[in-house]
Amino acid sequence: MADHVSTEGHGATDLKVDLSSYRTKALLVGIGGLALFGIAAGAMVATNAIPTKQIFASYSVGFMYWVAVTLGALFFLSLQYLSGGKWGILMRRPFEAATRCFPLLILFFIPVAGSFFAGKNSPYPWAEFYDHIQHETNEELKKEELESDYGRRVVEYSNPTFSLVRAIGIFVILGGIIFVLNSTARKAEENPDENAAADARARQKVWGSWGIILYALCGMVLITDWVMSYEKFFASSMFPLIFHANAMLSSFALALLVLIGLRNTALKGIYHPSEQIHLGSFMLAMALFWVYTTYSQFMLVWAGNLPEELGYPLKRASEGWKPIWYVLLGLRFFLAFGLLLFREVKSNAKAMRIISIGLMCMVGVDIFNWIEPTFDRSQMGYAPYWLLDIGAIVGLGGIWVWYFLGQLSKYPVLPVREIYLLKGHHDEQH
């Protein structure tokens, strides 16, 4: 028979980790990234190499990346509270810590909210249109534009004020469910009254179901408002699902990196290759889900053949952007799919670390591909605007990871009262 997981010696104290050295490094990386963003933006705008709207767009790439990671964590946290799967015991604390980074997103959102009101400097066509209408002096032309389909859409829905109101609503709703999920988790873990703790665990199922519903609905609204509306006429019901696929994969890869990082310290004797194989298979399913959603969007646009929808894939299939598709398809789908099929790879911690980091990078490439090809670069020459995108992802990411590690080290990395489930799980495998 196989060895047994020894959990008897793992109390709350043993399972707390000191991550202060990693936090410092993350903060330094974050400051470096933001410095890169600031210097590159200043230099390129000063020399008229890029328009101001490019700064907002690049910032948006970094912002959306960390929105995806945080909300993906909310999805998995809700899912595992609801389903009660043993897999979630290992990943619960990293997901909880990631959702508690949500207040940072509110801070990060301020420049995005600013871009709603930036008029002709806004990267959003609706914000630009709204500003243009406000300053239109020819009343006849103004009336005509307001009565157009796009004009009505902007006035009734996509105007800056209502977009901001929706964003505030999203932050309140998601912030609320994240607060409830985390406070219930604390009660389930720390309440000295065992009955009250058991009640809290039962309530986690209810809140978990609400978490999934609210995540899906709010995710749909925010990705439509903050990303899909970059394209003036493009509308795809698959786009929110592609966002969900990226959000799930990035947060799952991050949680797996945490487990792999702690396998020889706090999780020694608990985290085994057999668990890692299951988590690797889960990751394989997510790689498939991404290609399923992305291909479905492409196929529906191909089948519909509508002028307002074709712009999106045609821009991304044009020269200069096409290699991104090859990178995404080759590395994110074929390579990840090919590697994650094998148990030998999934049980190897170092290989899984590389795959997780690689897939997190690919999520960044995908988000870059949502936003950047939107803009006409024929007037921009060869300005390395992509430095801004990298600076934004790394800069915001450094601060996010710094805060995340602080949250992760606040509590034991496993739910101590439910750790016995892992023992049963491991025995069951042999």
Partner 1 sequence: MSSTNNETKVYGMLAEYDNADALIAGIKKAKEAGYTKLDGYSPYAVSGIADALGFIKSEMATVMLCGGICGAICGFLMQYYTNAVDYPFNIGGKPYNSWPMFIPVTYEPGILTTCLAGVFGLLALCGLPKLYNPLFNVPAFERSTIDRFFLFVQANDEKFDLQATREFLLTLNPLSVAEVPE
179 is an interface residue for partner 1 by CB under 8 A? no
Is residue 46 involved in binding partner 1 (CB under 8 A)? no
Residue 282: closest CA among 251, 258, 260, 261: 251
Minimum distance from residue 311 beta carbon to partner 1 (Å): 17
Task: Give per-residue burial for 226-255: e unless 16+ CB within 10 Å, then b.
Answer: bbbbbbeebebebbbbbbbbbbbbbbbbbb
Distance (Å, whole) CA 26 – CA 5: 33
Shortest spacing between CB 392 and partner 1, in angstroms: 33
**Do 337 and 288 touch, CB atoms closer than 8 A?**
yes
- 375's torsion region: left (phi>0), alpha (psi -120 to 50) or beta? beta
Alpha helices in 148-193 (DSSP H): 149-156, 160-190
Rounded CA-CA distance 263/269 in Å is 8
298 lines the binding site for partner 1 (CB under 8 A): yes
Q: Is 100 helix (H, G, I), strand (E, B) or coil?
A: coil
Taking the least distance from each CB to partner 1, the nearer of 106 and 299 is: 299
Q: Is 430 in the site for partner 1 (CB under 8 A)?
A: yes
Question: Which CB sits closer to partner 1, 180 or 329?
Answer: 329
Residues in 68-97 at the binding interface with partner 1, rule: CB under 8 A: none
Q: Does 326 bind partner 1 (CB under 8 A)?
A: no
Stretch that binds partner 1, among 148-156, 294-302, 367-375, 407-415 (CB under 8 A): 294-302
295 binds partner 1, rule: CB under 8 A: yes
1 binds partner 1 (CB under 8 A): yes
Number of residues that bind partner 1 (CB under 8 A): 10
Burial of 349 (0-12, 13-18, 19+ CB in 10 A): middle
Write down the least CB distance from residue 303 to partner 1, Å.
Answer: 6
Provide, rounded to whole angstroms, the least separation between the CB of residue 341 and partner 1.
8
Does position 428 interact with partner 1 (CB under 8 A)? The reply is no
* Residue span binding partner 1 (CB under 8 A) among the ranges 32-40, 170-178, 207-215, 300-308: 300-308
The DSSP letter of residue 382 is: T
Q: Is 334 in the site for partner 1 (CB under 8 A)?
A: no
The residues, ordered by sequence, that sit 6+ positions from 414 with a Cβ below 8 Å of its Cβ are 10, 15, 89, 90, 92, 93, 266, 267, 270, 422
Q: Choose the stretch contacting partner 1; rule: CB under 8 A; options: 30-38, 68-76, 149-157, 297-305.
A: 297-305
302 binds partner 1 (CB under 8 A): yes
In whole angstroms, how close is the CB of 177 to partner 1 at the nearest point? 36
350 is a site residue for partner 1 (CB under 8 A): no
Tokens 């020399």 belong to residue:
47
Task: Write the burial class of residue 322 (CB in 10 Å: 0-12 exposed, 13-18 middle, 19+ buried).
Answer: exposed
Stretch that binds partner 1, among 75-83, 202-210, 211-219, 293-301 (CB under 8 A): 293-301
Pure H helices in 8-86? 20-46, 52-83
Closer residue to partner 1 (CB): 295 or 386: 295
- 303 is a contact residue toward partner 1 (CB under 8 A): yes
Span from 165-173, 184-192, 291-299, 325-333 in contact with partner 1 (CB under 8 A): 291-299
User: Which of 31, 36, 61, 34 minimizes the C-alpha distance to 402?
Assistant: 31
**Considering only residues 304-323, where is the footprint of partner 1 by CB under 8 A?**
305
CB 106 within 8 A of CB 427: no
Judged by beta carbon, residue 295 or residue 420, the one nearer partner 1 is 295
Does 357 bind partner 1 (CB under 8 A)? Our answer is no
Please report, as ranges, the residues that interact with partner 1 according to CB under 8 A. 1, 295, 298-299, 302-303, 305, 341, 429-430
